[in-house]
Amino acid sequence: MKILLVDDEVELTDPLSRLLTREGYTVDIARDGESGWEMVFQGGYDLLILDWMLPGINGLEICQRARSQGHTTPVLFLTAKDTVDDRVAGLDAGADDYLVKPFELRELLARVRALLRRPPTLEPSTTARLQYEDLELDEENQLAYRQSQPIELSEKETALLAYLIRQPNQVLTHDDIYQAVWGDQEKPSSNVLAAQMRLLRRKIEPKGTPPVIHTVYGKGYRLGL
């Protein structure tokens, strides 16, 4: 199991790294937020242990960036911030657990073991995303991004959006879409397609953003123009 420890306190990271190594873990250390984020972005870790206050970007932002890009690696915060609001902010940022400094090493090891016992999840795909203007799609992870904000999609919504992005500025008939998205499955009713399109639009066209999917009445739909 490989752990990334991001903390600028040498008096903590050195003994903690030795302890985790003796427990059989492989430990990498980053002492500032920027290098920590670079290592998180490269992936390959089973657990991230983040200090909140760091030189450069802080641990909270590292966690938020990781989650927004689809990283599902468990995150344990180590921090002196101990108010309820701080804990809520950490958990809302995507942390899985939160340990307040100073702490007992036995408790930290127990929390590390608990987080690493969770079923493994896949790291985000490194394959290129489909893109149209400020709209991006990560097909493998069923995530869209509008103005860099992540949007979770269903399997059918992902397939539908992928087909639209691959055929930009073209009118796609209902039959075109049925064939591309449903394939050999039983053809759904026009109401099903309309409902799927409505749900997709609701997600990728939030208030304040210009629409990207247009209805061409009597024919079908078009992405763009």
Q: What is the pLDDT of residues 97-108, one digit of tens each?
A: 888 887 888 888
Residues 91 and 52 in one domain: yes
Q: How big is the CA angle at 42 (ends 31 and 114), to the nearest 5 degrees?
A: 75
Residues 67 and 98 in one domain: yes
Residues 107 and 140 in one domain: no
Amino acid identity, residue 224?
A: G
pLDDT at res. 54? 87
CA distances from 98 to 79, 89, 91, 93 (A): 8, 11, 8, 12
CA distances from 1 to 4, 73, 116, 123, 179 (A): 10, 12, 8, 15, 44
Which of 86, 116, 146 is the last residue in one of the domains? Answer: 116
Alpha helices in 23-178 (DSSP H): 33-42, 59-68, 84-92, 105-116, 155-166, 174-177
pLDDT at res. 1? 87
CATH number of the domain bearing residue 43? 3.40.50.2300
How many structural domains does the chain have?
Answer: 2
- Is residue 121 in some structural domain? no
- What does the pLDDT look like over 59-80, one tens digit per residue? 888 988 888 777 788 999 888 8
pLDDT at res. 83? 74
Tokens of 202: 């609701």
CATH number of the domain bearing residue 186? 1.10.10.10
pLDDT at res. 128? 63
Q: Give the pLDDT of the chain (225 residues) as one tens digit per residue.
A: 899 999 988 888 888 899 999 999 999 999 998 999 989 888 789 999 998 888 888 888 898 888 877 778 899 988 887 777 777 777 777 888 888 887 888 888 998 998 888 665 444 444 568 888 889 999 888 899 998 888 998 888 999 999 999 889 999 999 899 888 888 777 777 788 888 999 999 999 988 889 999 999 989 999 987
For residue 197, the surrounding DSSP H or E stretch is helix 190-204
pLDDT at res. 120? 53
d(CA 192, CA 83): 48
Which of 57, 88, 116 is the last residue in one of the domains? Answer: 116
- Is residue 107 in some structural domain? yes
pLDDT at res. 124? 47
d(CA 72, CA 146): 20
